[in-house]
A and B are shown apart, each in its own frame.
Chain A
């Protein structure tokens, strides 16, 4: 039927250069915005003089924090119920923070005018190292918040502390390791931006911007700007990659809206790459201490974690209200552990806000990295093979559904099968033999294993929300009289191929070709409400909504078919894309025939409306839990510390695969991310809070040269709660792969007694680890 490999519908426009990204949209009379940003990480703003900029012949407006204050828009709510400055009024709190907005006739003039704005700053000491944020003498960053005397944001814990501590006290073996998951940035190739068009006559505001959550944006604009929600239309056109960085609302979006309201003309603002890296959603920045209690024969009993979470200057992480550390407490991972406990403390620093971005599945990325690194630390302590240690502790298939010690209910899985497959594909035993040979010759080769369990597809909405908006998503399906269909969904693709995958789901359910289904998304005037695409939730949530709305249509089609066949609906069966009389397949009607009849003069039973359409809202009963086993082989140059990823085997189980070609593509991309984060990517700062990774010359991303040819394997364990058994896969590889790479490098460095080294494992970092002098990769502070 319709599931299976199928070329993507969206490719036809992209290969011709005919995609429509936000910056490709142009409107008559359009003006251009540019943002002046603070050069200081922490500074009091003494004065802002915009006179010369306003006198520039091409400038149409200059907006400052003071202008916005007059409109009540100087501050906006963040997705974590904090506030964030749209344009700074009192202080700049991170380098690159938005201070003023210029609107001009062309983009070059807007940039020119930024140079004409004179801001007097009074620089303050910056809090750069999260570990110093809570020092009694640390500068207070958020003195705008009433009664705030320090940089503490929250303390949060999960699991059973007493039981965990008791197991640690009695344990035969314990290991502990400090580790940093450094601040990184998703760096989609399309930066963020917005085009706002406020029509004074109709009062309608239309905003084009690359948002992963168009409906949430509209509701928030209504709340922030006080505009009536029905007069706001958010259009999220083609998006050039998102990876979580395009969930939030950025100050520039609000500035573009204000600019359009002030000038009466459309205003487009697109950030440049430095602005993107310095001011939009970073990810990670978790400073973790992990501990494992185990028996001497390698039975993991308990895991304990303490985290210091650097949230930047405004707490803007996009995650459910109940979970300030996201889903980090899934950190007991894939193992059968008696007890677990974690404590997370969030702090403000003089860095950009954000925090949940970059394919992280609400911080499952940090959790998986922690536990997978810790298992290797334990293996080293016990002198056990890391693959064998994992095999001894993995959850067994008969334990599902499994309730974890921190309260997650894993839906389904066969973990040992996935790990065995990965070990077979990589040829694990042979590689260990080769490693021994090479070590004897003084060569450094490493083999790293990681196993991950993800928790994706949020809600259920009673537990999960964004700013009080529950995580449930709508779908609407209409079958036209000729049997072609249009599906409208609340989520928005950033490259995942929804136009193809969702058409395949409808095709599968209705027995029509996927090519006959048009998928509409990314426009709040055209689609039902829902929270959008992030946390790998499109297929688990919107995909489920799509399947269920198609089944509703199929049920209606049954009644219409019964009227056509002059039979009882109970006597019909669905087979081969037709409703037919049981036992008489020749007396049947295809969906196209039924659709035409549903729009015709055919008399339908009492209470049955005509036409063939339906709507639904899917509130997931549980998350889905994709999992996988990864194996990485690296060679390390002992002279330079250069790491070469020789091979990478990834076995993923994301339940039923709708379009395996697209699924594999998602995995490939995530694996490259894992290699990038493990070996190259870091956003470092100096002691004054200067951003040291504000361009692609400093923030290094993997190219085709750093990536090996990925080797994939799969197992399929359907989700019992999802209508088609799918689990979501968008983030799996990004979540699972960094630990495999780091484990491989640390394994390679075994002869030097190295048990841990922090990402990114650049040549310098590897070399220092070998010397026993590791340093903080995220800080350029002596």
Chain B
């Protein structure tokens, strides 16, 4: 089937098998390997991308379902050479170790701050509760997202 998916603002048209998963479309067809694959069952969330702004697990979305839609991946977070606040926050607060869950965590963090610029700790934990991290014990991910929220608030004021 022929699909056109806009990824990080750029439309891509490809001929794909109907069963092709979005995660494989992004990785294998477009070479965007920042989106990882981890479990097949929507539990780990390392494949999280934003589909029309909403975080989805791209291992359980077919590429054909994304036809005509907009996808944001980790590669789309940096704008004009400027890192997103959540990217800066993860560096500042040591919010990553092996880096495998990081792209998905960053995208969910961005989604959260788009909806709620000043989330409390419980809100942050709930927002990332559909994603696993095996390295950080989540502590520094939570701190990273708080840091990003504070940085953006300061930039606005």
| Complex interface: stretch among A80-88, A386-394, A447-455, A660-668 | A660-668
Given contacts A243-B134, A665-B135, A669-B136, contact A17 B34 (CB under 8 A): yes
* A interface bracket (residues with beta carbon within 8 Å of B): 35 or more
Is there a chain B Cβ closer than 8 Å to A719's Cβ? Answer: no
A24/B138 in contact, CB under 8 A? no
The chain A residue with its CB closest to the CB of B20 is A108
Least Cβ–Cβ distance between B76 and chain A, in angstroms: 9
Chain B nearest Cβ from A43, distance in angstroms: 26
A439 contacts the other chain (Cβ, under 8 Å)? no
A669 CA to B131 CA in the complex, in Å?
15
Q: Is the CB of B132 within 8 A of A701?
A: yes
Residues of B within 8 A of A7 (CB): 91-92, 94
CB pair A668–B134 under 8 Å, yes or no, is no
- Using A672-B137, A696-B39 as known contacts, say yes or no to A21 and B129 having CB atoms under 8 A apart: no
Return A425 CB to nearest CB of chain B, in Å.
Answer: 16
Smallest Cβ distance from B57 to chain A, in angstroms? 12
Distance between Cα atoms of A710 and B103 in the complex (Å): 24
Stretch in A298-306, A416-424, A489-497, A581-589 with 4+ CB within 8 Å of B: A489-497
Residue from B87, B132, B142 within 8 A of A189 (CB atoms): B132
What chain B residues lie within 8 Å of A11 (beta carbons)? 90-91, 96, 99
Residues of B within 8 A of A186 (CB): 134
Interfacial residues of chain A within 98-140, with CB under 8 A of chain B in the complex = 107-108
Kindly state whether residue A169 has any CB partner on chain B within 8 Å.
Answer: no
- The reply to whether A190 and B40 form a contact with Cβ atoms under 8 Å apart is no
A18 touches B34 (CB 8 A): yes
Question: A766: CB under 8 A from chain B?
Answer: no
Which among A15, A20, A669 is the interface contact of B83 at CB below 8 angstroms? Answer: A15
CB of B52 within 8 Å of the partner chain: no
A189 and B125 CA atoms in complex are apart in Å by 19
In the complex, which of the residues B24, B73, B92, B137 contacts A669, with contact meaning CB atoms closer than 8 Å?
B137
Evaluate whether A668 and B92 lie within 8 angstroms (CB atoms) in the complex, with A189-B101, A495-B98 already known: no
A71 within 8 A of B: no
Contact between A241 and B100, CB atoms less than 8 A apart: yes
Whether B39 lies near A16 (C-beta < 8 A) is no
Give the contact-size bracket for chain B.
35 or more
**A77: chain B residues within 8 A (beta carbon):** none
Contact of A16 with B74 at beta-carbon distance under 8 Å, contacts A189-B36, A191-B38, A701-B132 already known: yes
Closest to B100 in A: A240
B153 interfacial by beta-carbon distance below 8 Å: no
When distances are taken between beta carbons in the complex, the residues of chain A under 8 Å from B46 are 189, 240
CA distance A703 to B121 in the complex (A): 14
Taking the complex as formed, is B19 at the interface, i.e. its CB lies under 8 A from any CB of chain A? yes
Q: Which residues of A contact B43 (CB under 8 A)?
A: 695-697
Cβ of A274 within 8 Å of any chain B Cβ, yes or no, is: yes
| B99 interface neighbour in A14, A243, A669, A673, Cβ under 8 Å | A14
State whether A189 and B38 are in contact (beta carbons under 8 Å apart), knowing that A239-B98, A495-B98, A696-B132 are contacts in the complex: yes
Interface presence of A47 (CB below 8 A): no
| A17: nearest chain-B partner, CB-CB | B34
Is residue B17 within 8 Å, beta carbon to beta carbon, of the partner chain?
yes
Chain B contact residues, majority secondary structure = loop
B58 at the interface (CB under 8 A from A): no
User: A335 CA to B40 CA in the complex, in Å?
Assistant: 46
Q: Which residue of B lies closest to A659 (CB)?
A: B94
Shortest C-beta distance, B140 to chain A (Å), equals 6
Instruction: List chain A residues, Cβ under 8 A from B124.
Output: 704
Chain A residue with Cβ nearest B88:
A15
Question: Which chain A positions have C-beta within 8 A of B39?
Answer: 273, 695-696
The answer, yes or no, to whether B157 is at the interface (CB within 8 Å) is no
Contacts A16-B78, A665-B97 given; indicate if A705 touches B134 (C-beta within 8 A): no
Check if A695 sits within 8 Å of B40, measured CB to CB.
yes
Interface of chain A residues 233 through 265 with chain B (CB within 8 A): 238-241, 243
Q: Chain A 9-38, CB within 8 Å of chain B: the 1/0 string? A: 011111111111101100000000000000
Say whether A665 contacts B140, CB under 8 Å: yes
Q: Nearest chain-B residue to A701 (Cβ)?
A: B132
**Chain B CB within 8 A of A568 CB:** no
B129 proximity list for chain A (CB < 8 A): 703-705
Interface membership of B63, Cβ < 8 A: no
Q: How distant is B13 from chain A, measured CB to nearest CB, in Å?
A: 20
- The proximity string for B residues 63-91 relative to A, scoring 1 for CB distances below 8 Å and 0 otherwise, is 00000000001110110000100010011
- B7 at the A/B interface (Cβ < 8 Å)? no
Give 1 or 0 for each of A180-208: 1 = CB within 8 Å of chain B CB. Answer: 00000011111100000000000000000
Please determine whether B139 and A709 come into contact, CB atoms closer than 8 angstroms. yes
11 more CB-based (< 8 A) A-B contacts, given A495-B98, A709-B139: A8-B91, A11-B90, A12-B91, A16-B87, A189-B100, A240-B98, A661-B94, A703-B131, A704-B126, A705-B125, A705-B126
> What are 18 A-B pairs at a CB distance below 8 A?
A12-B91, A15-B91, A15-B99, A16-B78, A18-B34, A19-B100, A188-B98, A189-B101, A190-B100, A240-B46, A664-B94, A671-B137, A695-B41, A696-B44, A703-B129, A704-B142, A705-B126, A710-B139
A interface vs B, CB < 8 Å? 7-8, 10-21, 23-24, 107-108, 186-191, 238-241, 243, 272-274, 494-497, 661-662, 664-673, 695-697, 701, 703-705, 707, 709-710
Q: B: which residues have CB within 8 A of A?
A: 17, 19-20, 24, 27, 32-41, 43-44, 46, 73-75, 77-78, 83, 87, 90-92, 94, 96-103, 106, 121, 124-126, 128-142
